[in-house]
Amino acid sequence: MRRLFGSTAMTVLFVSLRGNSFASAFCAPAARENMFRLRSGALFSSTTSSDTTFWRSNQDCWRPDVRDVERISFGQPAKKKGTGSRGIPHRLNEDERRSFDQARRQGFLQVTGSAWRSQRRDAPLLNTYRSLSDARGKPAIVLHKLSPTSSGEHEDKLVVDLSPLRFPDEFDAVGKEVKAMIQAEYNLESCVDDVEEGEDVEDDEGLDIEEASDEDQYETRPIYQLPPFQLEWNVSRQEGKIIGKYLAGIFETIEKSASKSKKQRGVKPGKGRRSGGYGIG
């Protein structure tokens, strides 16, 4: 009996080594499930690195420091000149802080509507997240959660801003590749054309910057003085989150080590710059 069992085991082992028919018979269901989950955006692995060869970020240009972006989000002055601006609010309130921290862990930002804050007459959360994306050299991925339609369905807007890559000559090619990938994976077409690079952007009154070509602007100017280059899709709430995770895996925007930001010392309510007032965001 022992001899028969041993012979059977050797036969099974031989068959499995000769081909993968025996193993695939048991592994096929799991593989199919993983493929389905991967397609739906639930799984991301190192294989996404093969899909990132179509984009790159300019590292030989002016960029803010991540720590400085965190400082101005608390209303503190940055160490590197140009990181913040008196006319561009970056300071976050409690709700915006939670969304900002969550975006760093998930790889994309989720906001309600346009994230406009009437007290600041701007959207500090979008400004800060775009500055963070610029500091990391990654596209800014934002899911705008809009109000339900008359039929009760949520039609949100997913936006990808490629300007933090700072390679304006490559925006068109990267944008077309991203559109093709979304079309192939989710059968979804973008809803608008890309923003033209030639849009006029107001200069910051606190910085003395001379007129320069488009390439020079992306080399030297802070991100809030550069026009966005956006790709947009109309999506349902579930589609937006799934595709947001998918794009976060492609552009490697997830910060696995990002922790909940803590209020820094010396930040007190006030009107002056040193007290964290409007002067720095």
Residue 184 lies in a domain: yes
Please state, in angstroms and rounded to a whole number, the distance separating the CA atoms of residues 21 and 93: 58
On whether residue 2 sits in a domain, the answer given is no
Query: Is 227 a residue whose pLDDT tops 50?
Result: yes
Question: What's the pLDDT at 148?
Answer: 78
Q: How many other CB atoms are found less than 10 A from the CB of residue 280?
A: 24
Which pLDDT does position 83 carry in this prediction? 93
- pLDDT value of residue 36: 35
Using only the alpha carbons of the chain, give its radius of gyration: 24
Grade residue 264 by pLDDT with cuts at 50, 70 and 90: low
Residue 277 in domain: no
Residue 52 confidence (pLDDT) above 60: no
Residue of 145, 98, 174 whose CA lies nearest to 239: 145
**In the sheet that 109-112 helps form, which strands lie side by side, from edge to edge?**
109-112, 140-145, 156-161, 230-235
Chain segment 170-198, per-residue pLDDT in tens: 999 999 999 999 999 999 998 865 444 44
Domain count for the chain: 1
In order, the DSSP letters of the chain are: -HHHHHHHHHHHHHHHHH-SHHHHHHHHHHHHHHHHHHHTTS---GGGGGGGGG-----SS----HHHHHHHHTTPPPSSTTSSBTTB-----HHHHHHHHHHHHHSSEEEETT--BTTTTB-HHHHHHHHHHHHHT--EEEEEEPPB-TTS-B-EEEEEE-GGG--GGGHHHHHHHHHHHHHHHH----SSPPPPTT---PPPTTS------HHHHHHHS-GGGS---EEEEEE-HHHHHHHHHHHHHHHT---TT-----PPTT----SSGGGT-GGG-
Examine residue 135 and state whether it is found in any structural domain, yes or no.
Answer: yes
Q: Which of 220, 172, 171 is nearest to 60 (CA)?
A: 220
Per-residue pLDDT tens digits for 97-132: 999 999 999 999 999 999 999 877 889 999 999 999
CA-nearest of 52, 34, 275, 44 to 177 is 52
Confidence label for 258 from pLDDT (cuts 50, 70 and 90): confident
Answer yes or no: is 32 within a domain: no
Return d(Cα 133, Cα 145) in angstroms, integer.
20
Domain around 243: 37-201+211-258
Please tell me the number of Cα atoms within 13 Å of 140 on its side-chain side: 25
Residue range 130-159: average pLDDT?
89
**What mean pLDDT comes out for the span 240-266?**
84
pLDDT at 174: 97
Q: Which is more confident, 275 or 118?
A: 118
More confident of the two residues 10 and 212: 212
Residue 206 lies in a domain: no
Residue 150 lies in a domain: yes
CB 252 within 8 A of CB 138: yes
pLDDT at 279 over 60: no
Q: Which amino acid is at 144?
A: H
19-23, 75-79, 134-138, 200-204 — which is least confidently predicted?
19-23
Averaged confidence pLDDT in the chain: 76
Please tell me which residue, 163 or 32, carries the higher pLDDT value. Answer: 163
pLDDT value at position 273? 47
268 lies in a domain? Answer: no
Note the pLDDT of residue 190: 87
